Structure 1
Amino acid sequence: MFECTIEKLVDKDEVYFISTLKDVTDKKESEEMMIRSEKMSIAGQLAAGIAHEIRNPLTSLKGFLQLLQAGLTSKEEYYQIMLEEIEKMESITSELLFISKPLTDNKKTEAINEMIEDVVMLMKPQAKLKDIQLGFESEETAFIYCDRSQIKQVILNLVKNGIEAMDQPGTIVIRLEANHESVIIRVIDEGGGIPSDLINKIGEPFFTTKQSGTGLGLMISKQILAQHNAILDITQNKDRGSTFHIIFPVK
């Protein structure tokens, strides 16, 4: 894999163009390795919440099966409940498997609302463990041209960071706004906030305000957004916490 740069050089009446090719194969491989490592780390951290969320439907299924074994008569009603519990587990495990898959590069027009709803469903068990309410607010359906897998990874990273930043019960809100110029996703947490003198450093490799963090999650998120011509802006909330703004330009 190569990067190509072209420079224009003017010497009196002559115009020259100088092209430089640089082999960036090792750089790309290192970036992909960091992304895989971060994704697997996230999957591991979510395991406790996911296990708790799956245990409840399994307990229900076990109870209904025992009732059926005992000769329960009104079976149809319980069959429906059992199917709903199984579908709930399928949805959770599908989203968890999504995290561990390699990032693709397949851009097309996607409904951002659906992507956020998937992330909320996956992160709710993790939030529940810390008594945090996770909500999604949107007045309309918005579409962006993106790689679905990559943008879901970015939103998941920001929600995960918000949960980790909160030491006491509270709320994290994902708010979707759209106008004729941009589509904006805001992740609003109630954590300790980020000091103003450190905000510009957020996203640098291995810089983090968390005791057990690496800083790679936000660095990867910024790289993904740059590939989508989008930006990540961070502001302090007036009362408590931080807001992460993902801004997509509308083509």
Structure 2
Amino acid sequence: MDNALIILQVILVAVNVIVHVGLILLISKIFKNEFKKNLKLEKLATIGELSSRLSHDLKNPLSYINMSTQMLKSKATEKNTVEKLEIIEQGIDQMSQQLNDVMTFVKLKEPELKSWDLKSILEECIGRLKIPDSIKVTLLEKSFQIKCDRTQFEVLFTNLISNAIDSIQNNGSIKIHVNTCSDETKIEIIDSGDGIPEDKLEQIFEPLVTYKKSGTGLGLASCKNIVKNHNGTIHAKNNPTTFTITLPNN
């Protein structure tokens, strides 16, 4: 009975969260239809204000669902029950990522620049992600110092690596290369996934443009804003799928 009550509470909270996320996505689509390619950051003030309010409302429900799901999963013995709880966990991860995309996009601050070890930032990001055993991630062979806002760069790399994971259907690889000279540093994230649809390749960094079914269209726009915030550039290409970040060394 207690388990049934908890499951009911989880379902009710999940419905509440889905409604809130649905509102965010609906408003995003409205803005996309109205402003299309000419949509600018300042024109997203309304969605930013609404997202800030919804963020507060979504935090507690998502946390409650996550804790309840983990508790039920630890006590579950039937395979069917465990699988259903894992589906709920995947839903939580998706909604959390969508919310993070929105909030990063509308609340980006001026970077607090310090010298950081790039390899340690990447290791921190990879440690947070659920990477299937079928995907091999190759990190840097040595350390590189870069000047950046660590928090913003963790968001940047988490987004890019997460996208790479999503694009790989079965077995695959993700490689991270760094080339540096006196003037600039180039960071490449290369994956063996399906690539970016050609009709989206020139637009993927624009707000509300996405090629993923569950995407908000703000993840890569946030990445571009973060890199631009550091006076750098980011671009993507196919064959293989490669995201290249170029940063000034001064």
1:111 maps to which residue? Answer: 117
> Aligned AA for 2:246?
I
Summarize the Cα distance change of 1:204–1:181 in structure 2 as closer, same or farther, 3 Å threshold: same
- Does structure 2 retain, via aligned residues, the 8 Å contact 1:117–1:136? no
Mapped to 1, the partners of 2:53 and 2:146 lie a distance apart of 25
Mapped to 1, the partners of 2:222 and 2:213 lie a distance apart of 19
Summarize the Cα distance change of 1:170–1:25 in structure 2 as closer, same or farther, 3 Å threshold: closer
Cα displacement (A) at 1:208: 0.8
Structure 2 unaligned segments of length 5 or more: list them. Answer: 1-40, 75-99
TM-score (norm 1): 0.56
Structure 1 unaligned segments of length 5 or more: list them. Answer: 1-23, 57-98
Percent identity among equivalent residues?
28
CA RMSD of aligned residues (A): 3.7
Cα displacement (A) at 1:250: 1.3
In the alignment, is residue 180 of structure 1 matched against residue 182 of structure 2? yes
For the pair shown, which has the larger CA radius of gyration, 1 or 2? Answer: 1
Aligned length: 171
Once the two structures are superposed, what CA deviation does each residue of 1:139-159 show, in whole Å capped at 9, x if it has no partner? 432222211000110000000
Cα displacement (A) at 1:112: 1.3
> If each structure's strand is expressed as a fraction of its own residues, which one has the higher value?
1
Once the two structures are superposed, what CA deviation does each residue of 1:10-58 show, in whole Å capped at 9, x if it has no partner? xxxxxxxxxxxxxx999668558769989x89xx7xx99xx99xx99xx
> Aligned runs of 1:34-183 on 2, under 5 Å?
105-123=111-129, 126-128=130-132, 131-183=133-185
Mapped to 1, the partners of 2:122 and 2:53 lie a distance apart of 21
Mapped to 2, the partners of 1:213 and 1:237 lie a distance apart of 23
Mapped to 1, the partners of 2:193 and 2:53 lie a distance apart of 27
> If each structure's helix is expressed as a fraction of its own residues, which one has the higher value?
2
1:236 maps to which residue? Answer: 238
In the alignment, is residue 202 of structure 1 matched against residue 201 of structure 2? no
Mapped to 2, the partners of 1:171 and 1:109 lie a distance apart of 29
| Secondary structure, counterpart of 1:199 in structure 2 | coil
Summarize the Cα distance change of 1:197–1:224 in structure 2 as closer, same or farther, 3 Å threshold: same
Cα displacement (A) at 1:136: 3.4
